[in-house]
Amino acid sequence: MSVKFLSAASFGYGALARSSKVCAAALAVFVGLSEGVSAETVTIAALGDSLSHGYGLPAGQGFVPQLQAWLDANGADAKVLNAGVSGDTTAGGLSRVDWTLTDDVDAMIVELGGNDLLRGVDPDVSRQNLSGILSAAHAKEVEVLLVGIEGTANFGADYKQRFDAMYPDLAQEFGTLYYPNFFAGIAAGGVTPETLRNFMQPDGIHPNAEGVKLIIAAIGPSVLELVNAAQ
């Protein structure tokens, strides 16, 4: 909205008074609209696999509800939607990204690749799928936090190198926010048998509720950055 300022010489007193009232009313509307935009809740879709979905955990203890509680406690006006599907690969995420990105979604956390790693999917294929997901978000002008996961040496050093490289490479290519390792909050003190007992479920793959709490404490600031970018 533009406001045109008019000189008093152009009007008689009555006309000037009416003009002033109109400008004041227009300014009030503008301020009200600005306040409404700044206070609008940011809707975040957490597109991921079982780690996002909350596999093996009671309701309210998974990644999404714990993240929501953390954001609330830190004063963020944001709503997190659980778009995690247990067992999903990057291909699965790509197949459902379009209907995940509804008009009310302002931002997206992309947490995928763990099941590709477990199945030995070619990292070039995983990279292409993630690229498709980020392209879809870019087309919808949705801000993204890309969350990586560290590869293992099970399929050789070359596989691990290519797998680990795809996350930072894609984040740079698409200009997204980037969080290197979903498990950073748990792995910060080193991965030991005690760590696995205290913070992981018996399968050694999925975090327990206390493990999720550590994960959220570590990734939370990056999600706050995502919220700010989407506002």
What is the C-alpha to C-alpha distance for residues 13 and 19, in angstroms, rounded to an integer? 10
Q: Where are the beta strands (DSSP E) in the chain?
A: 42-48, 78-84, 107-111, 143-147, 177-179
Out of 53, 88, 116, 206, pick the active-site residue.
Answer: 206
H helices of 54-110, where? 63-73, 90-100
Instruction: Please report, as a single letter, which amino acid is at residue 152.
Output: T
- The reply to whether 50 belongs to the active site is yes
- The reply to whether 86 belongs to the active site is no
Out of 50, 53, 106, 116, pick the active-site residue.
Answer: 50
- The reply to whether 38 belongs to the active site is no
- Tell me what percent of the chain is helix, strand and coil, each rounded to the nearest 5: 55, 15, 30
Tokens at residue 173, please? 């290519």
Q: How many CB atoms lie within 10 A of CB 5?
A: 6
Out of 2, 10, 158, 203, pick the active-site residue.
Answer: 203
Catalytic residues: 50, 203, 206
